[in-house]
Amino acid sequence: MSDSRREFLKKSAILAASTAAATTGITQILSEDGSEEEIVYDYVIENGDVFKDRKFQKLYVGIDSWGKLKISEKPLKGQHYIDATNRIVSPGFIDILSDNSSNPDDTYHIFESYKVTDGVTTALQLHGGHHKAASYYRSFSKKDHFINWGVSCKVMNIRRNQRSIENRLKTIEKNLAYGALAISHSIEYQPTPYRELLTYGRLAYKYQRPLFLHLRHSSKEKELLGVAEAIKLARDTGAHIHIDHLNSTGGTFNMPKALQMIKDALSEGLKITTCVYPYSYWATYLHSKRFDEGWRARYNLTYSDLTVVGTGERLTESRFNELRQKTGILVAVPEGTMPLYKTGDLAIKEDFCFIGSDGGIERRARANNHPRGAGCFATALRHFQDIGIPLEDILFKITEAPTKLLRPAMMRRGKLKDGYKADIVIFDKDRINGTATMANPNQYSDGIDYVFVNGEIAVKDKKLKFMNGRPIKIQAAKVN
- Among 12-26, 125-139, 267-281, 411-425, which is the least confidently predicted range? 12-26
Across the range 125-129, mean pLDDT stands at 96
For the ranges 6-10, 262-266, 303-307, the lowest mean pLDDT is seen at 6-10
What letter does residue 235 receive in the DSSP assignment? H
Q: What's the CA gap between 224 and 216, in Å, rounded?
A: 10
Q: What is the mean pLDDT of residues 86-98?
A: 98
Count of CA atoms in the C-beta half-sphere (13 A) of 58: 5
Short-list 391, 371, 345, CA closest to 283: 371
| Banded model confidence at residue 32, pLDDT cuts 50, 70, 90 | low
Q: Work out the pLDDT band at 475, boundaries 50, 70, 90.
A: confident
CB 480 within 8 A of CB 177: no
- The interaxial angle of helices 194-207 and 165-177, nearest 10 deg, is 30
pLDDT of residue 101: 87
Q: Identify the pLDDT of residue 38.
A: 82
Length of the chain: 480
In single-letter form, the type of residue at position 28 comes to Q
CA distance 242 to 469: 25
* Between 480 and 165, the higher pLDDT residue: 165
Mean pLDDT (whole number) for 226-252: 98
The SS3 call for residue 82 is: strand
Strand runs labelled E in 277-355:
283-285, 307-308, 330-332, 353-355
* DSSP secondary structure of 252-283: TTTHHHHHHHHHHHHHTT--EEEEE-S-S--E
Q: Is residue 37 scored above 80 in pLDDT? A: no
DSSP E strands, 272-391: 272-276, 283-285, 307-308, 330-332, 353-355
Residues 280/347/298/288 CA torsion (nearest 10 deg): 80
Largest alpha-carbon pair distance within the chain? 92
- pLDDT score for 476: 57
Band of pLDDT at residue 7, cut at 50, 70 and 90:
very low
pLDDT band at 433 (very low <50, low <70, confident <90, very high): very high
Give 28's pLDDT tier (boundaries 50, 70, 90): low
| pLDDT: which is higher, 173 or 34 | 173
Mean pLDDT of the chain: 92
Mean pLDDT value of segment 263-274: 98
pLDDT in tens, 367-417: 999 999 999 999 999 999 999 999 999 999 999 999 999 999 999 999 999
Q: Amino acid letter at 328?
A: G
Whether pLDDT at 6 is above 50: no
Range with lowest mean pLDDT among 41-45, 59-63, 101-105, 170-174: 101-105
Alpha-carbon distance of 220 to 401, in angstroms, equals 30
pTM assigned to the model:
0.92
